[in-house]
Amino acid sequence: MLMLKEVLYQMLRDARSQKLRTFLTGFGIVWGTVAITLLLAFGTGLKKQMIKSTAGLGDRIGIAWPGLTSKPFQGLGKGRRIRITEEDLIAIRSQVPGLRSLSPEFAGDMKLRYGLKTYPVDVTGVTPEFGGMRNLIPQAGSRFINPIDMEKQRRVLFIGNKLAETVFQKEDPVGKTVILNGSPFLVVGVLMPKNQDSSYRGRDHDQAFMPTSTYRALTGAKYVSNFVFQPAKVLEMKAVSNGVLTSLSRRLRFDPADKEALSVWDTTEQFQFFEVFMLAFTGFLGIVGSLTLVVGGIGVSNIMNVVVEERTKEIGIKMALGARQRSILTQFLMETLLITGSGGVLGLLISFGICSAFPKLGLTDYVGDPQVSPVVALITTGILGVIGLLAGYFPARDAARLDPVVAMKL
């Protein structure tokens, strides 16, 4: 305790005698700490926002579209249109290992009337599993399509949040009845607003969804527009995708190697790309911030060299009175760590303040919200500790090795 009080006293005395130098040195540490923490915090926020926006399309799903065959197969010529029914998809479910969810999509344009106004709407017939796969989360007090809706061919709709605003203005859509293609439909759910940076038929906030059984009864549609599937494990997406392709090719008689007959969009590849890209990007930001902090450490080392020169006579007197090299070394190391630690704490506080205020600027949808995670704080603390030890060790070692007789004469 006595040593700490003495160190604090000496540090304050040195700071008063070298105000400008101490300020610039402390500023270098503060700036370096802010740089590394904010760079990593913004990198973390950007990564989460990119993943969140990408997940708006779906939770690591595959989307498949039937097309035209480009290869002859078993006596059948190329150019044959592949037509998939809901029954085909039900049949292959048990044949594909690792397949967790599967939903057909029947899509078309319809006229929706509410009150005296009529609106063109993109309508899709889906199963209850579709909502979970596509991250269609209902707002409080509403719901998505359920199995009973499917079984009884209920005329119910789940609508996007922007479509709800357009049609119902400030009214609560849930429980309201609309006329869709001349038939009454009950609105049972409204989409929770979400980020979505990609789509294949338009953004979900402008869509309307009904049970496939209802869609088929209403329109007479037989063949699906496309279908969505999800593996039980993300790493099994390739195997599941190949299994779906193989099963359908056997049932519908086309070459499983024919990419034109059934094209698949594997959205998990985007997530894998983001993981690799953001890992490299975060590493780059960390290196840049660390180098900035190293520059501040060099400033600390320089001021400690000046301190040792100015206190050479004092060091000599202490050693002549019996102070050991270890105590001199410890004193100067503690002074260095205090300077570094004080600047680091101030820098972290500034970073936390900036991260707390940033969401209020309304830029979350573009760059996300910066987050100083415990890992970032721990990394920054570790780097500060290493820099403090290195910056202080060599000046402290020189001070401890001084000859007391020579030192007192200087």
Kindly give the interhelix angle for 268-310 and 19-55, rounded to the nearest 10 degrees: 170
What's the pLDDT tens digit per position in 12-58? 665 565 566 666 667 777 877 787 788 788 877 777 776 666 667 78
Residue 121: φ, ψ to 5°: -135, 140
Among 266, 293, 323, give the residue marking a domain's end. 266
User: Are residues 260 and 132 located together in one domain of the fold?
Assistant: yes
* Structural domain of 365: 2-54+272-409
Q: Indicate whether 230 and 128 sit together in one domain.
A: yes
What is the pLDDT of the chain when averaged over all its residues?
A: 82
Both 135 and 20 in a single domain? Answer: no
Residue 2: which pLDDT band, with cuts at 50, 70 and 90? very low
Among 251, 266, 281, identify where a domain stops.
266
In terms of domains, do 209 and 319 share one? Answer: no
Residues 222/227/233/234 CA torsion (nearest 10 deg): 170
Same domain, 279 and 352: yes
- 79 and 101: one domain? yes
**Final residue of a domain: which of 266, 295, 329?**
266
Identify the sign of the CA torsion 205, 208, 213, 216.
negative
325 confidence band (pLDDT: 50, 70, 90): low
Q: How many domains does the chain have?
A: 2
On whether both 113 and 259 belong to a single domain, the answer is yes
Are both 316 and 353 inside the same structural domain? yes
Strand partners, 81: 68
Strands 177-180 and 183-190: what pairing?
A: antiparallel
Same domain, 229 and 277: no
Residue 84 φ/ψ region, left for φ over 0, alpha for ψ in the -120 to 50 degree band, beta for the rest = beta
Is 301 within 8 Å of 395 (Cβ atoms)? Answer: yes
The b/e string for 214-228 (b: 16+ C-beta within 10 A; e otherwise) is: bbbebeebeebbbbb
- Side chain identity, residue 108: G
Do the beta carbons of residue 274 and residue 361 sit within 8 Å? no
Global confidence as pTM: 0.67
The reply to whether 261 and 276 lie within a common domain is no
Q: How confident is the model at residue 371 (pLDDT cuts 50, 70, 90)?
A: confident
Q: Given a cut of 60, is residue 334 above it in pLDDT?
A: yes
- Which pLDDT tens digit goes with each residue over 144-184? 999 999 999 999 999 999 999 999 998 999 999 999 999 99
* 313-342 core/surface letters (b: 16 or more CB in 10 A; e: else): eebbebbeeebeeeebbebbbbbbbbbbbe
Nearest Cα residue to 386 out of 323, 344, 328: 344
Instruction: Give the pLDDT score at 106.
Output: 97
CA gap 152, 145 in Å, rounded: 12
Task: State the Cα–Cα distance between residues 217 and 2, nearest whole angstrom.
Answer: 87
Would you say 363 and 270 are in contact if contact means Cβ atoms under 8 Å apart? Answer: no
Distances (CA, A) of 27 to 35, 291, 352: 12, 15, 17
Q: pLDDT (tens digit, 9 = 90+) per residue, 271-300?
A: 777 777 777 877 787 777 777 777 777 777
pLDDT at 308: 67
- pLDDT tens profile 208-265: 999 999 999 999 999 999 999 999 888 889 999 999 999 999 999 999 888 899 999 9
Residue 396 has pLDDT above 80, yes or no: no
Q: 211 with 197: CB under 8 angstroms? A: no
Mark whether 36 and 72 lie in a shared domain: no
Q: Are 149 and 91 contained in the same domain?
A: yes
